[in-house]
Amino acid sequence: MKLLISVCLAASVFASGAALASAELATKNKCNTCHSLDKKMIGPTWKDIAAKNKGKKDADKALVASITKGSKGQYGKIPMPAQAGAAADAPALAKWILAQ
């Protein structure tokens, strides 16, 4: 019984840690300068990005490419500059954004 409780507790910490880690990655990579969860800023909200990509095959790969190489015309006139410095974190960020 103690083992079961320990496993459940560890799993919940891991799951909440993943969401927190990605929010921290967004802050670390200065994504929050142009984006937020639900308030339109310079770029689209995380929720808008997730909604636009919902159900699309390989949405995570496309988002990783947008993060690292930049994009233009996907959400309006303002282009997203390439964030090559975020390349290592881009897969985790893409998963987190798409989960919103």
Q: What is the pTM of this model?
A: 0.78
Number of domains in the chain: 1
SS3 71: strand
What CATH number does residue 28 fall under? 1.10.760.10
Quickly state the pLDDT bin for 12 (edges 50, 70, 90).
Answer: very low
Read off the tokens for 25.
Answer: 């990655």
Closest to 56 in 3D by CA, of 9, 97, 10: 97
Quickly state the pLDDT bin for 19 (edges 50, 70, 90).
Answer: low
Read off the pLDDT of each residue in 50-73 and give the average, rounded to a whole number: 96
The answer on pLDDT for 3 being more than 50 is no
Domain with 19, as residue range(s), is 2-98
pLDDT in tens, 69-95: 999 999 999 999 999 999 999 999 999
